[in-house]
Each structure stands twice: as structure tokens, then as C-alpha cells.
């Protein structure tokens, strides 16, 4: 039996522009930084430069242990990812290294 990795990806239109997105990383434990949140990779369908948008792990209400379920990927979350990346200085149609953005 093959160990297939499920990849989530798709397209979304934000303010008349089309963007492709994919799940870059699930939430995970890092020994140096503790819990790291989900990361989505977003790029303009005509562009080359990606934006890596990371969400912090949500905290549980009663104590500081994080809630270990990643956010549901839906249209409002994707719109927020694209707008946060653009506000942080990402130019989707330019070339270069991926831009990392932390959404608060």
C-alpha cells in the first residue's frame, strides 16, 4: 500500500485577480520555537513569486496549551491571506524569493 500525502490546493479570485494556493505546511511542533502554525503558499496565476502565509497556533481558552487543530481553509481565510501578503509588501507579479508573512 502506498503512503499517499493528501495535498490541498485550489484557486481563488481576490479583487478581480486570480491566485493559486496550496497547503505548504500543517501545524507542527518545533523544538526551537514550540508550536508553529499552518502555512499556505499563494501565488498569482500569471506570476512566479510566492507568498508563504503563516497563522499562529490558536491557544486554548483555559490554559496555554495550543488547540491542535488547524484552521479550516475557506474563502474568507484565503482572502485574508492574499490581502495580508499584499499589505506586507508582496508584489505578486514580480520575480524573486518567496515572501514570508505572519498573520496575527
- pLDDT at 62 (0 to 100): 60
Per the structure, the count of domains in the chain is 1
Instruction: Please report whether residue 4 resides in a domain.
Output: no
Bin 24: left if φ > 0, else alpha if -120 < ψ < 50, else beta.
alpha
The whole-angstrom separation of Cα 21 and Cα 43 is: 6
What is the enclosing helix (H) or strand (E) of 89? none
Instruction: Please report whether residue 21 resides in a domain.
Output: yes
Please provide the DSSP assignment of 41-87 as one string: EEEETT---EEEEE-PPPBPSSSSSB--SPPP--HHHHHHHHHHHHH
Instruction: Please report whether residue 94 resides in a domain.
Output: yes
- pLDDT in 10s for each residue of the chain, 104 residues: 454 556 689 999 999 999 999 999 988 888 887 778 889 999 999 999 999 999 887 666 666 555 567 778 899 999 999 999 999 999 999 999 999 999 87
Instruction: Please report whether residue 3 resides in a domain.
Output: no
pTM over 0.85, yes/no: no
Instruction: Please report whether residue 67 resides in a domain.
Output: yes
- What is the domain range of residue 31? 9-102
Instruction: Please report whether residue 95 resides in a domain.
Output: yes
Asked if residue 92 lies in contact with residue 51, where contact means CB atoms within 8 angstroms, the answer is yes
Instruction: Please report whether residue 2 resides in a domain.
Output: no
Instruction: Please report whether residue 25 resides in a domain.
Output: yes
Amino acid at each position: 500500500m502506498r503512503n499517499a500525502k493528501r495535498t490541498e490546493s485550489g484557486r481563488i479570485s481576490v479583487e478581480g485577480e486570480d491566485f493559486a494556493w496550496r497547503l505548504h505546511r500543517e501545524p507542527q511542533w518545533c523544538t526551537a520555537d514550540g508550536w508553529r502554525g499552518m502555512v499556505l503558499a499563494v501565488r498569482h496565476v500569471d506570476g512566479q513569486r510566492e507568498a508563504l502565509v503563516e497563522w499562529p497556533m490558536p491557544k486554548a481558552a483555559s490554559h496555554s496549551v495550543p488547540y491542535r487543530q488547524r484552521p479550516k481553509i475557506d474563502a474568507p481565510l484565503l482572502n485574508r491571506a492574499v490581502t495580508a501578503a499584499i499589505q506586507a509588501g508582496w508584489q505578486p507579479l514580480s520575480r524573486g524569493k518567496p515572501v514570508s508573512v505572519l498573520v496575527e
